[in-house]
Each structure stands twice: as structure tokens, then as C-alpha cells.
């Protein structure tokens, strides 16, 4: 940039050979103390904070030269800021007039950008020595013994209180032997069906044996009336 030691990462030239857009890329860490509390609530906070610092340093001078400045911020996990999506959308519109091809370009560009960011993050992690005694190693405190968790407070078994006696009704004095209203009702015992007796045939006993035939009683003292003699 004119009268400045700043050098953008990418410069887009216009059709007339003049610079059209200035682009500067920055990677942010969402675990930094100044952004971690807000980043835990809203995704992309670290990227927006990093992009804001770039805009404060570049936007005024870029606009004075008649150019557009795009701060492209990406978090270590792959989240992009809003201006990054706006810049990719500008490239998608310039690539093709077809909406389907623009959507395919956006998907491919986002995958490539996030893949490059993850590869760089993995390279940094693998470059760090894992031994605590090696130069530049991370010194960690030794493993501490795990304490037993506190026992849960014991609660006494719940016992339902007995029912409170209800006040006697006005008619209770007339029936002193009547049970209280909360007493269970006495259910009468079930009565079984009557026993079925098989019909008895005449001349037979109940076990099927024949009965002795009754002897007809004849009164010999009485004579039947005689017809009159002629």
C-alpha cells in the first residue's frame, strides 16, 4: 500500500490493470482468554474479533486509495467470518451465471478452505514435542490420585401418616354403632348357587333302585250298593 509498509496477502486486479480488492488472511484461536467466554455462547466470535482488528488497521487506507478490503478470518476449528463468506460469494457469482454451478463452487471452496486450516492445525500439534524433558516440551503436572466421591445423603423411608379423624355428622348420635366414614365397608360373603337336585322318576329311588309297589287298601266292611231286584 502507498506510504505504508503493509502488504496484503492477495490482490485482485481489475480489467484496467488497477488493484480492485485487497485481501488479508488471519487465523484465530477460539480458546484465547479475550474471546473464550463469548465464543462459548456464539459460534464464530473469535473469527469476527480477528476480522475486526484487521478492518481497523486496513479499511481506512484502502478506501482512501479507492479499493475494497476483505478481512478473511478463520478459526482453528474451521469457522469463517461473515466477510469471508461474502468474498466467496463474489467469486461464485463471477465464476458462472448458473445458480447450480454457483452452489457447487461454494461447497467446493468451503471444503478446501477448511481442509487447509485443519491440516495446518494438525501440523502445529505434531510439531510440538510430546516429552516433558525435550526442548520446548510442555511441562505438565503429574497425575493426581482420584478422590472418592462424597456419599449421597441418606433419606429416611417415607411413611404415610394415618388418616385424620373426620368430625362426626349430626346424625351420628342416632346410630352410635355405625362405623366411621373412613372405615372400609364390610362386603358380605358371596352365596353359592343352590344345589341342583335331579328329578325323581316314579317307582325309582334316587340311586335308581326300584321301590316296592304299594298294596292297595280294600275296605271289605263296606259293600257296594246292589241294584234293586225286579
DSSP assignment of 82-141 equals HHHHHHHHHHHHHH-S-HHHHHHHHHHHHHHHHHHHHHHHHHHHHHS---TTSTTPPP-P
Q: What is the full DSSP assignment across the chain? A: -TTS----SEEEE-TTSSEEEEEEEEEE-TTSTTTHHHHTTSTTHHHHHHHHHHHHHHHHHHHHTT-EEEEEEEETTS-B-HHHHHHHHHHHHHH-S-HHHHHHHHHHHHHHHHHHHHHHHHHHHHHS---TTSTTPPP-PPPPPPPPPPPPPP-PPP-PPPPPPPPPPGGGGG-TTSPPTTSPPPPPPPPPPPPP-PPPPTTB-TTSPBPPPPPPP--SSS-PPPPPP-
d(CA 82, CA 48): 8
Q: Is the pTM of this model over 0.75?
A: no
pLDDT in tens, 59-107: 888 888 888 889 999 988 888 999 999 999 988 998 888 999 999 999 9
Position 142 scores a pLDDT of 54
Dihedral of CA atoms 60, 75, 121, 25 in degrees, nearest 10, equals: -20
Instruction: Name the residue ranges covered by the structural domains of the chain.
Output: 10-127
- pLDDT at 129 exceeding the cut of 70: no
What mean pLDDT comes out for the span 136-141?
54
How high does pLDDT run on average in the chain? 76
Amino acid at each position: 500500500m502507498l506510504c505504508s509498509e503493509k502488504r496484503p496477502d492477495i490482490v485482485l486486479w481489475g480489467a484496467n490493470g488497477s488493484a480492485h480488492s485487497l485481501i488479508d488472511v488471519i487465523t484465530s484461536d477460539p480458546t484465547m482468554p479475550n474471546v473464550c467466554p463469548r465464543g462459548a455462547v456464539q459460534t464464530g466470535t473469535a473469527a469476527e474479533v480477528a476480522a475486526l482488528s484487521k478492518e481497523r488497521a486496513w479499511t481506512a487506507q484502502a478506501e482512501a486509495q479507492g479499493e475494497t478490503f476483505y478481512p478473511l478470518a478463520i478459526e482453528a476449528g474451521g469457522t469463517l467470518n461473515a466477510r469471508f463468506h461474502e468474498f466467496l460469494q463474489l467469486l461464485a457469482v463471477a465464476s458462472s451465471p448458473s445458480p447450480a454451478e454457483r452452489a457447487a463452487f461454494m461447497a467446493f471452496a468451503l471444503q478446501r478452505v477448511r481442509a487447509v486450516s485443519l491440516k495446518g492445525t494438525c501440523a502445529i500439534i505434531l510439531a510440538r514435542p510430546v516429552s516433558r524433558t525435550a526442548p520446548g516440551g510442555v511441562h505438565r503436572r503429574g497425575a493426581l490420585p482420584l478422590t472418592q466421591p462424597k456419599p449421597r445423603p441418606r433419606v429416611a423411608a417415607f411413611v404415610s401418616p394415618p388418616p385424620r379423624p373426620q368430625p362426626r355428622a349430626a346424625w351420628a348420635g342416632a346410630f352410635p354403632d355405625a362405623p366411621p366414614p373412613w372405615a372400609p365397608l364390610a362386603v358380605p360373603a358371596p352365596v353359592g348357587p343352590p344345589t341342583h337336585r335331579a328329578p325323581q322318576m316314579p317307582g325309582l329311588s334316587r340311586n335308581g333302585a326300584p321301590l316296592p309297589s304299594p298294596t292297595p287298601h280294600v275296605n271289605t266292611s263296606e259293600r257296594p250298593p246292589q241294584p234293586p231286584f225286579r
